[in-house]
Structures are given as C-alpha cells and as structure tokens.
Amino acid sequence: MAKKKAAKTKKTATKKARKPNAAFMKALKPSDKLAAVVGAAALPRTQVVKKIWQYIKKHDLQNPKNRRNILADSKLKEIFGKAEVTMFEMTKLISKHLK
C-alpha cells in the first residue's frame, strides 16, 4: 500500500521586514583622515561604507584584474595603511577611524 502524501500548502505570509541593527545605525564621527573622503558630519557605519564605495568608483580605484581589491590613492592610503586592500579588509580598517 502506498501512502498518500498530503499536498504541501504554499505559505502566503509575506516576509517580515528586518529591523536594522542599532549598532549599524548609530551615527559615528569620522577621524580627520576619513573625513577627507566622506565628510566631517557624523554618519552611520553603513553610510560611511557607501560613501567610500562612491569615492572608489568615482576615481576608478578597483583593481582591473581583481575587482574585489581596492588600489588606494593618497587619501585612502592614509586610512588603510597600505596600497591595496580587499573589500572585506576595507570595512575592518574603516572602523578604526570611527568614534
């Protein structure tokens, strides 16, 4: 005897919107070196990273061979401390310049 499988019902409930993490939304003051790129106003961490990416794309600082790497110009070199960083390292290095 074959068992009949109950028809699976599709969930019609919509996904709940995620509440933003308060740590990411807290406005932080950038250091003088970081302020040269993103401005001196206090910003949430997410907005700082967004402005850094805008700066990188505007000045074409992504490595053409490996787009995940960022080639630092003089302003970014002061923030990163080296000439080339990966995009994953970038957020860690930026966080040192936020208070």
**The tokens of 69 are what?**
């790497």
pTM: 0.75
What is the rounded average pLDDT of the residues 1-21? 61
Instruction: Give the confidence band of 13 by pLDDT, cuts at 50, 70, 90.
Output: low
Is residue 5, in this structure, part of any structural domain at all?
no
Domain residue limits at 54 = 26-95
In a domain, 48, yes or no: yes
- Asked if residue 44 is part of any domain, the answer here is yes
* Bridge partners, 70 (sequence order): 62, 85
User: Considering the domain boundaries, does residue 17 fall inside one?
Assistant: no
The pLDDT value given to residue 78: 95
Split at pLDDT 50, 70, 90, the class of 3 is low
10 within some domain: no
Q: Which amino acid is at 57?
A: K
In degrees and rounded to multiples of 5, residue 27 shows phi and psi of -75, 130
| Cα separation values, 50 from 7, 22, 37, Å | 46, 17, 11
Axis crossing angle, helix 45-58 with helix 87-95, rounded to the nearest 10: 130
The reported pLDDT for the residue numbered 59 is: 97
Q: Give domain status of residue 33, yes or no.
A: yes
pLDDT of residue 2: 56
| CATH number, residue 30 | 1.10.245.10
Q: How many domains does the chain have?
A: 1
Determine, yes or no, domain membership for 87. Answer: yes
Higher-scoring residue by pLDDT: 95, 22:
95
Which has the minimum average pLDDT: 4-18, 19-33, 38-52?
Answer: 4-18
Q: Write out pLDDT tens, residues 40-63.
A: 999 999 999 999 999 999 999 999
